[in-house]
Amino acid sequence: MLAKKLIVQKYGGTSVGTKDRIMAVAQRAVKTKRANNAVVLVVSAMSGETDRLIRLAGEMHESPPERELDMLLSSGERISAALTAMAIEALGEKAVSLSGRQVGIITDSMHTKAKIEHVHAGRVRQTIDEDMIAVIAGFQGVTEDMSEVTTLGRGGSDLTAVAVAAALRADLCEIYTDVDGVYTADPNVVKNARKLDKISYDEMLELASLGAKVLQSRSVEFASKYEVPLVVRSSFSEEPGTLVMKEDKDMENVVVSGIACDKNQVKLTALGVPDKPGIAAKIFSAIAQRGIVVDMIVQNVSADGSVADISFTVPKTDSKGALEITTSVAQTLGAKSVIVKDDIAKISIVGVGMRTHSGAAAKMFQTLSDNNINIMMISTSEIKISCVIEGKYSELAQRELHEVFALEKAG
């Protein structure tokens, strides 16, 4: 008989969205276990549940205390974990559901976006050693002194799965979702997007952090750091999915492997700030002190060089906070005004081949220009190019770029 493997399976919201879907998850888990594997499940809240809870919180308080939000939101995953464990028991296998705290997922105390510091794998290990399936509530952790429940940011169950797989040194971490792998673009937007058999950790990390929500970006960072063998596949089929792995030789030959779009940012512009040393430092240190992460920054200096406009993007959820801070700093600097633009989209092309091939940027800009789409901001790194454009053109831009870079054809 083959040696027993340890497999971590994570099921997203749609995959546990109904009673029948939970039963299907239980069946797959039981089948995997009966094929001589140790099985650990990580589940998300049932689809729509986290959004529903956020809406409810908003009806109680204009900006709900983050500690209480974490108490509230973490309950969604506990419900699906307990129901999944019950479904497994109904199929005749033993299962135990565990909250983040019971597992020992230790995080810092940044409520709603906590970082995992350590995973005590003892309780889960004991569960599988006793021949049971462990069903872990994703997305949540606990502070070191066990006093506070935290959550890991939207999409955080992916991170729970990868972190638990790393701690257990699992043979495989499978992310089950509602599409059958990682595609060259969001298959719900670009109809002829192509499923990739494999993708490098670096490309996946860029795609995820640039808006491809199929994997949470921190989970990819973690998987890359600990070299967790990761597969993205569908909970609705038996298709093999996409392997996220270390870069190999043939990946370099593909200039662009994917397109991502992020519509969750806003652009702020401080108009007419004096153009002298120290101004940018003042604005951005004030924003950083609030824990707001700034993404793209562009500065335009007036023709006579006396004043500048500074534009930058932040996550939509931080829009209010960023506006307050920028307005107050801008006033002390004698700036004209601060404006916010929220209907923007950041479109990005990603590929490790960009390291060795030139021309991708020119082709991207030309494509946007041919479609009369104005570029408001540009940023590049070794393996990606991003442009901020009007939000209303986001789908058109993704489809046109997909076409021009011929992504529907295998590289």
Question: What is the number of residues in the chain?
Answer: 411
Q: Which helix (H) or strand (E) segment is 205 a member of?
A: helix 201-209
Least separation in angstroms between CB 335 and ligand ADP: 38
Least separation in angstroms between CB 42 and Mg ion: 12
Does 269 sit near ligand ADP (CB under 6 A)? no
Spatial separation of the C-alpha atoms in residues 159 and 219, rounded to whole Å: 4
Query: Which of Mg ion, ligand ADP, ligand ASP, none has residue 14 at its interface (CB below 5 to 8 Å by kind)?
Result: ligand ADP
Query: Which of ligand ADP, Mg ion, ligand ASP, none has residue 179 at its interface (CB below 5 to 8 Å by kind)?
Result: ligand ADP
Q: Which C-beta is closer to ligand ADP: that of 44 or that of 394?
A: 44
Candidate segments 25-33, 89-97, 208-216, 296-304, binder of ligand ADP by CB under 6 A: 208-216
Q: Return the closest-CA partner of residue 222 out of 237, 207, 205.
A: 205
Least separation in angstroms between CB 346 and ligand ADP: 13
Q: Which of residues 141-170 bind ligand ADP (CB under 6 A)?
A: 155
* Site residues (vs ligand ASP, CB under 6 A): 12-13, 44-45, 50, 76, 138-139, 154-158
The neighbour count for residue 266, using CB atoms within 10 Å, is: 20
Q: Which C-beta is closer to Mg ion: that of 140 or that of 269?
A: 140
Spatial separation of the C-alpha atoms in residues 309 and 321, rounded to whole Å: 20
Q: Which C-beta is closer to Mg ion: that of 38 or that of 175?
A: 175
According to DSSP, residue 294 is labeled P
Q: Which C-beta is closer to ligand ASP: that of 29 or that of 38?
A: 29
Does 241 sit near ligand ADP (CB under 6 A)? no
Bridge partners, 133 (sequence order): 95
Query: Which of ligand ASP, ligand ADP, Mg ion, none has residue 143 at its interface (CB below 5 to 8 Å by kind)?
Result: none
Q: Which C-beta is closer to ligand ADP: that of 207 or that of 338?
A: 207
Least separation in angstroms between CB 151 and ligand ASP: 8
Spatial separation of the C-alpha atoms in residues 347 and 211, rounded to whole Å: 9
Instruction: Indicate the residue whose CB is closest to ligand ADP.
Output: 12
The HSE-up count of residue 278 (CA atoms within 13 Å, CB side) is 1
Least separation in angstroms between CB 203 and ligand ADP: 10
Query: Which of ligand ASP, ligand ADP, Mg ion, none has residue 9 at its interface (CB below 5 to 8 Å by kind)?
Result: none
Q: Which C-beta is closer to ligand ADP: that of 179 or that of 354?
A: 179
Query: Which of ligand ASP, Mg ion, ligand ADP, none has residue 100 at its interface (CB below 5 to 8 Å by kind)?
Result: none
What are the distances in angstroms from CA 207 to CA 181, 262, 286, 342? 13, 10, 29, 22
Spatial separation of the C-alpha atoms in residues 101 and 93, rounded to whole Å: 24
**Which residues are CB-neighbours of 235 under 8 A, at least 6 positions away?**
11, 12, 14, 15, 21, 24, 25, 28, 176, 177, 178
CB contact at 8 A, 313 and 266 = yes
**Which residues are CB-neighbours of 271 under 8 A, at least 6 positions away?**
309, 335, 336, 337, 338, 339
Q: Which C-beta is closer to ligand ASP: that of 158 or that of 309?
A: 158
Q: Which C-beta is closer to ligand ASP: that of 76 or that of 353?
A: 76
**Contact track, ligand ADP, 167-186, x by CB under 6 A:** ----------xxx--xx-xx
Does 43 sit near ligand ADP (CB under 6 A)? no
Least separation in angstroms between CB 187 and ligand ADP: 6
Instruction: Indicate the residue whose CB is closest to Mg ion.
Output: 155
Q: Return the closest-CA partner of residue 411 out of 359, 348, 368, 352.
A: 352
Least separation in angstroms between CB 44 and ligand ASP: 3
Degrees to nearest 5, angle at CA 253 with 252 and 254 = 95
Least separation in angstroms between CB 325 and ligand ASP: 26
CB contact at 8 A, 340 and 268 = yes
Task: Look at the block and give the residue holding tokens 């502070």.
Answer: 143
Q: DSSP characters for 306-345? A: SEEEEEEEEEGGGHHHHHHHHHHHHHHHT-SEEEEE-SEE
Instruction: List interacting residues with ligand ADP (CB under 6 A).
Output: 12-15, 44, 155, 177-179, 182-183, 185-188, 207, 212-214, 258
